[in-house]
Structure 1
């Protein structure tokens, strides 16, 4: 019996403690397993709203709660796991072909995403039924 593939992985990032304020950094291909082509952040999410709601065919992402907290729910169509992101020195590695939703944003939360690829609408699957059909055909 083959093990189910992982659908997400929390990675602890370097944390430099300093009385003046802590510092955390990410080095591509060292702390995360890909080169970063795009960086974006989500903020001012109104209470009760959900972000994400899609999958990528090729682009891997690394999601960090740089301020506040939120949950990320990942599924591969068979398994589902919810991660609470609330430490700026940790991030969630999301592989390809994984459906993700982000919700339960705290007031002032900032979600930073490091993406492997530049934006490409053709890389997105935005309907869950279409996603299930896509992964079933793989």
Structure 2
């Protein structure tokens, strides 16, 4: 298993003005994004009582962005304290590395945009927490 990275926040540029609105841009792996984006997806209308995620990935890294609303993300990486991030600014993303257990809880109006380093592959998911902990010990 490779060295485990820790989650961290990425602040995207904010271009524009109040009278015309704003745009934020993520391009060129290595500039702000630590990987080339291979997949983009978004979640929305998630009831506030639902906790999503509850998994890690073998290979996939992600950047989670609250395009609207609020998302509370809890992360756990081997040997590090559990961290909680509150995403509610559309120009801030959270980098979630491989082998990082993560959960998300949303405000009802939240739209989560996800930039992923790999195409979807069910075999990449680690959905059993005990299995992940065993991988951490290897």
The answer to whether the superposition gives a TM-score over 0.5 is: yes
| Pair 1:84-2:86 in alignment | yes
Q: Secondary structure at the match of 2:21?
A: coil
Aligned position for 1:124: 125
How far residue 6 of structure 1 moved from its aligned partner, in angstroms, is 5.0
Q: Which sections of structure 2, spanning at least 5 residues, go unmatched?
A: none
TM superposition score normalised by structure 2: 0.91
More moved, 25-34 vs 81-90: 25-34
Aligned position for 1:24: 24
| Pair 1:102-2:104 in alignment | yes
Aligned position for 1:65: 66
| Pair 1:49-2:50 in alignment | yes
Count of residue pairs the alignment pairs up: 133
RMSD of aligned alpha carbons: 1.5
CA contact (8 A) 1:28 1:36 kept: no
CA contact (8 A) 1:54 1:128 kept: yes
Runs of 4+ aligned residues of structure 1 deviating over 4 Å after TM superposition are: none
Supply the distance in 2 between the matched residues of 1:6 and 1:38 (Cα, whole angstroms): 21
TM superposition score normalised by structure 1: 0.91
